[in-house]
Amino acid sequence: MRDKSQQLFQKAQQFIPGGVNSPVRAFKAVGGTPLFIRSAKGPYLFDEDGNRYIELINSWGPMVLGHAHEVVEKAVSDALQYSFSFGAPTKKEVAIAELIVSMVPSVEKIRMVNSGTEATMSAIRLARGFTGRDKMIKFEGCYHGHGDSFLIAAGSGAVTFGTPDSPGVPKGVANDTLTARYNDIGHVKQLVEANPGQVAAIILEPVAGNMGCVLPEPGFLQGLRELCTKEGILLIFDEVMTGFRLSRGGAQERFGVMPDLTTLGKIIGGGMPVGAYGGRREIMDFVSPAGPVYQAGTLSGNPIAMAAGYAMLEYLDYHPETYRILENTGDRLASGIKSSLAKLGLNYTVNHIGSMLTLFFTGEKVHNFETAKTSDTALFGKYFNAMLDEGVYLAPSQYEALFFSTALEESHLDQILEANEKSLAKIA
Ligand SMILES: *Cc1c(COP(=O)(O)O)cnc(C)c1O
């Protein structure tokens, strides 16, 4: 029964564009009505109709310890008694900054903001201010929030200027965004050569999650690092998704490649709206009021959000076994899904690293956006709905990664794999 969700969605559409406050929640890509969620605990999500689902999105990443983890819950309820916002510095902000600097290898100074979008927008402004250059290179299929300069997708093979992906993005802004193919260092070099001395930054998801999970090929991140150093371009790792997930120090620690700037979000807020950008000291000291690049926020470093984020990060810092648990969960699910595919004679592609995974409904190896798009998205929609009927909640789009939490136990993994095999058999 999903009656209550259906009724709420009807009403929501009268008052909210498309009935949702963020587009992918609308289930448009998979068909059906979005579930309206009442509560969540540990590995489970409960909707307004009282249905229970095993969670494989975890609020698009933040709930890496599962929902309403007691450590975060306690930190938030302790903080509540001191009021909810001051717009003035607090002790907690110093503590979280120090903790982040100790965890993320390339970060020497950090500025807190309220979302991943704000983090990437600010990082790009900083890169432009620091280098005195206007252009940036992003990669096809990478998502960096909804800032104007990021909503650009060049047509396939485009080597020059971007065109806006959304009405409302000025052409002038689009002109400064160059789009490269992921995992194609040659293409990036061409773009840099065609725009000598003009590229301020190269920004990417060091492991992509927003075209589905796509791993960097060996040498790709190192190649970007060398190119950036040689050309005076700032390398920005958007670790909003991978930060504190792929390891304690994110993808940069896992792959041993150090960016100049890092953007963070999702896990950093423990479920509260938080983002951050940080990096090398001399670059960060270009940010106001230390330097000339302006960036501000009434609610930045909000005490309740900082309490949640600090509790989350401190837990991860003190519990390195978290990452072993996440690795084991990812490995078990990936190999379980692969053996079901083999058993059913299906040759779909599983991309996986740590606690991120995407099952692409294509036989092709997926290493960039072009190959991700060979997926049969209609089939994914059927799979998604079959999994939902089996009580497993996936991201409602083929072009997303699943995010696992430490709340998943052996019995949950068995249930997920059983649901997966049944669903694949049903739609095949
Ligand atoms: C989610 C995400 C963002 C945007 O963060 P919001 O908090 O949704 O604004 C930016 N970059 C990456 C890699 C993300 O996954």
DSSP string, 254-269: HHT---SEEEE-GGGG
Q: Which atom of ligand 1 is nearest to the CA of 115?
A: 7
- Answer whether 72's CB lies under 8 Å from 312's CB: yes
What's the CATH code, domain 3-68+321-427?
A: 3.90.1150.10
d(CA 334, CA 328): 10
Q: In one letter, which amino acid is 374?
A: T
Ligand 1 pocket, 205 CB below 6 A?
yes
Is 143 catalytic? The answer is yes
Ligand 1 probe mutation, 22, 240, 263, 267, most atoms within 8 A of CB: 240
**Of the listed 47, 176, 184, 238, which one is catalytic?**
238
Is 238 catalytic? The answer is yes
Cα of 308 vs centre of ligand 1, distance in Å, is 18
**Which residues are CB-contacts of 88 (< 8 A; sequence separation ≥ 6)?**
none
- Answer whether 391's CB lies under 8 Å from 54's CB: yes
Per-domain boundaries in the chain: 3-68+321-427, 70-318
Ligand 1 pocket, 145 CB below 6 A?
yes
- How would you write the pLDDT of the chain (428 residues) with one tens digit per residue? 899 999 999 999 999 999 999 988 999 889 989 999 999 999 999 999 999 999 999 999 999 999 999 999 999 999 999 999 999 999 999 999 999 999 999 999 999 999 999 999 999 999 999 999 999 999 999 999 999 889 886 332 333 345 567 888 888 888 899 999 999 999 999 999 999 999 999 999 999 999 999 999 999 999 999 999 999 999 999 999 999 999 999 999 999 999 999 999 999 999 999 999 999 999 999 999 999 999 999 999 999 999 999 999 999 999 999 999 999 999 999 999 999 999 999 999 999 999 999 999 999 999 999 999 999 999 999 999 999 999 999 999 999 999 999 999 999 999 999 999 999 999 98
Taking residue 148's Cβ as centre, other Cβ atoms within 10 Å add up to 17
Cα of 167 vs centre of ligand 1, distance in Å, is 20
Ligand 1 pocket, 34 CB below 6 A?
no
Which fold would CATH assign to domain 70-318? Aspartate Aminotransferase; domain 2 (3.40.640)
d(CA 287, CA 300): 15
Cα of 24 vs centre of ligand 1, distance in Å, is 13
Best CA proximity match to 37, nearest among 9, 64, 74, 11? 9
**Of the listed 143, 383, 393, 399, which one is catalytic?**
143
- Answer whether 286's CB lies under 8 Å from 130's CB: yes
Cα of 336 vs centre of ligand 1, distance in Å, is 29
Taking residue 256's Cβ as centre, other Cβ atoms within 10 Å add up to 10
Q: Which atom of ligand 1 is nearest to the CA of 242?
A: 13
- Answer whether 386's CB lies under 8 Å from 305's CB: no
For residue 131, the model assigns a pLDDT of 98
b/e per residue 334-355 (b: at least 16 CB within 10 A)? bebbeebbeeeeeebbbbbbbb
Task: Find the helix or strand (DSSP H, E) in which 34 lies.
Answer: none
